A and B are shown apart, each in its own frame.
Chain A
Amino acid sequence: MELRQAKTGKLMIEILPNKCDFCGCCVGVCPEDAIELKEAEIFIIDERCTNCSKCIWSCPIEVIVLNKNGLIKK
């Protein structure tokens, strides 16, 4: 099993699969340019994310969450 890790050693930010509308709010507020958004594909660039949570607060439809376990399976 492969695990993803953020800059901080832990990745706690998770974008719920198949729920994103690809609107770009989270990308616009991310201070680390840590979110990649294509036409209908989105993911967090783990090495850049600092878990600051700003993307969570700016998601209009609540599809980004903190994963308290800290590590997310790929």
Chain B
Amino acid sequence: MKKQYDIIVVGAGPAGSMAARYAAEKGVSVLMLEKDRDVGYPVRCGEAISKAGVEEFIPIDEKWIAATISRFGFVAPNGNEVFINFGDAGFVLERRLFDYALAQSAAEAGVEILTRAYVYGLIIEDDIVKGVKYEYRGEQHEVYAKVVIAADGVESRVGRWAGLKTHIDFRDMEAAVQVTAANIPIDQNTLYFYFGKDVAPNGYFWVFPKGNNKANIGLGVSGITGKKRSALSYLNDFMEKHYPNAPILTSIAGGVPCSITLDKISAPGIMLVGDAARQVNPLSGGGIASGMIGGSIAGTIAGDAIKNNNLTHILTYDKAWGDRLGKRHEIFNRIKNGIYNFSDEKFNLIAQSFLKVPEEKRGLGNLFVTALMNQPSLLVDVAKVFLVK
């Protein structure tokens, strides 16, 4: 361990590992600090990801693939099921091993990694972030860096210490619970999404296969719902109704920040990536791939900034992220607000109309069209998704 690194990354999730790796590939020194004792554990995630989302960053390895996804199933409030086939769309991961593999790829690029290292503050001099303070096995340490990359997940405290406004509106925080259960007899290549105000108000309830009839089963609820009823009580109702005797292998809580990206994700000496920057796709709640993308952009820019001895270059990160995904997320967020406010009757109607489309002709595109026929005002927002490049 040195006293000074070019870059320090706080948090070893997918966003942190990719930020660290892409920076190290530029030939600069990188230290990644993680508070938990294991990278990748505990897993607070439904673990679904698109094939393209993985392939951009790491060659597919069966070791961390729990299920291969080729179909989506939507279950309307009245129980009607609509299926859409996709070919080889994506995976349900074994994230414990996946996150580990990502961190290992960072290590191979030269990143130093320390677990059980809890970052509790920043070193700030002349209003510029100069390093971090962390606790390791009961002792406090300080380490300097030219750039700190905050990849500290949903809590996003590191950015606050640098003066950025990172806390999220309680209405946009999807407070989630999930169980991984055995003996769930669903199709092992289909992601199931349930809709309806009794099942998952203002969002969806997921049942994702994990191979051998195991499944990740869970939901998130906004703080508005949370005022009245917790995610846990919805999950208990669902399990009682559908799988009362299923053995529960794990159960976890977690938070998904479903909003647009923060106004500012860089400042002198600091950059924010992944959940900490609020880079989750607000429509789907997926944040693994978008976090890796955010991380890779930040890592590349930080590496270049250091190599060219031009630290203000890191401030170009906000725009680079906006152009790649940030602007798109703004539109997804508006669509989210439209769709998740549909009444149960409207969901039932959409499913009913869509069931008339022959299965081989179904796609997410015409599902959207069907949804839009029921809510034409959303058309403008959807049109914009295709205009933003």
Which residues of A from 29 to 48 have beta carbons under 8 Å from B?
Answer: 29-31, 33, 37-39
Which residues of B from 263 to 296 have beta carbons under 8 Å from A?
Answer: none
Contact, CB under 8 Å: B116 / A54: no
Selected from B176, B227, B253, B254, the residue in CB contact (under 8 A) with A57 is B227
Contact, CB under 8 Å: B223 / A57: yes
Asked if B334 is at the interface (CB within 8 A of a chain A CB), the reply is: no
Cβ of B153: which chain A residues have Cβ within 8 Å of it? 24
Closest to B278 in A: A28
Which residues of B from 131 to 180 have beta carbons under 8 Å from A?
Answer: 153-157, 160, 167-170, 173, 175-177
Q: How many angstroms from the CA of A27 to the CA of B230 in the assembled complex?
A: 17
Q: How many angstroms from the CA of A6 to the CA of B84 in the assembled complex?
A: 53
Contact, CB under 8 Å: A30 / B226: no
Contact, CB under 8 Å: B167 / A25: no
Contact, CB under 8 Å: A29 / B118: no
21 residue pairs bridging A and B, Cβ less than 8 Å apart: A23-B44, A24-B154, A24-B254, A25-B176, A27-B157, A28-B154, A28-B173, A29-B223, A33-B167, A38-B35, A38-B118, A54-B170, A56-B226, A58-B173, A58-B175, A58-B223, A58-B255, A59-B230, A60-B232, A61-B231, A62-B230
Q: How many angstroms from the CA of A60 to the CA of B111 in the assembled complex?
A: 35
Contact, CB under 8 Å: A23 / B254: yes
Contact, CB under 8 Å: B173 / A29: yes
Selected from A25, A33, A38, the residue in CB contact (under 8 A) with B255 is A25
Contact, CB under 8 Å: B155 / A59: no
Cβ of B319: which chain A residues have Cβ within 8 Å of it? none
Q: How many angstroms from the CA of A62 to the CA of B175 in the assembled complex?
A: 11
Given A25-B253, A39-B35, A39-B118, answer yes or no on A59-B175 (Cβ-Cβ < 8 Å): yes
Contact, CB under 8 Å: A33 / B160: yes
Q: How many angstroms from the CA of A28 to the CA of B262 in the assembled complex?
A: 13
Selected from A28, A29, A31, A61, the residue in CB contact (under 8 A) with B253 is A61
B contact residues, total (Cβ < 8 Å): 35
Q: How many angstroms from the CA of A56 to the CA of B173 in the assembled complex?
A: 12
Q: How many angstroms from the CA of A1 to the CA of B157 in the assembled complex?
A: 32
Contact, CB under 8 Å: B173 / A23: no
Q: How many angstroms from the CA of A62 to the CA of B44 in the assembled complex?
A: 17
Interchain nearest-CB distance for A19 vs B (Å): 10
Contact, CB under 8 Å: A25 / B35: no
Closest to B169 in A: A29
Contact, CB under 8 Å: B170 / A37: no
Asked if B209 is at the interface (CB within 8 A of a chain A CB), the reply is: no
Cβ of A21: which chain B residues have Cβ within 8 Å of it? 252-253
Q: How many angstroms from the CA of A29 to the CA of B33 in the assembled complex?
A: 23
Q: How many angstroms from the CA of A37 to the CA of B11 in the assembled complex?
A: 14
Interchain nearest-CB distance for B352 vs A (Å): 33
Looking at A21, A23, A28, A31, which has the most chain B CB atoms within 10 Å of its CB?
A28
Interchain nearest-CB distance for A20 vs B (Å): 9
- 5 new A-B contacts, CB < 8 A, other than A28-B257, A56-B226, A57-B226, are A23-B254, A25-B255, A28-B173, A29-B168, A58-B175
Q: How many angstroms from the CA of A57 to the CA of B255 in the assembled complex?
A: 12
Contact, CB under 8 Å: B252 / A28: no
Cβ of A28: which chain B residues have Cβ within 8 Å of it? 154-156, 167-168, 173, 255, 257
Chain B window 245-267, contacts with chain A (Cβ cutoff 8 Å), 1 for yes, 0 for no = 00000001111010000000000
Which 7 A-B pairs rank lowest in CB-CB distance, beginning with the nearest? A25-B255, A23-B253, A60-B175, A21-B253, A27-B155, A60-B231, A24-B155
Contact, CB under 8 Å: A31 / B167: yes
Q: How many angstroms from the CA of A58 to the CA of B118 in the assembled complex?
A: 24
Cβ of A59: which chain B residues have Cβ within 8 Å of it? 175, 226, 230, 253
Cβ of B175: which chain A residues have Cβ within 8 Å of it? 25, 58-60
Looking at A24, A27, A39, which has the most chain B CB atoms within 10 Å of its CB?
A24
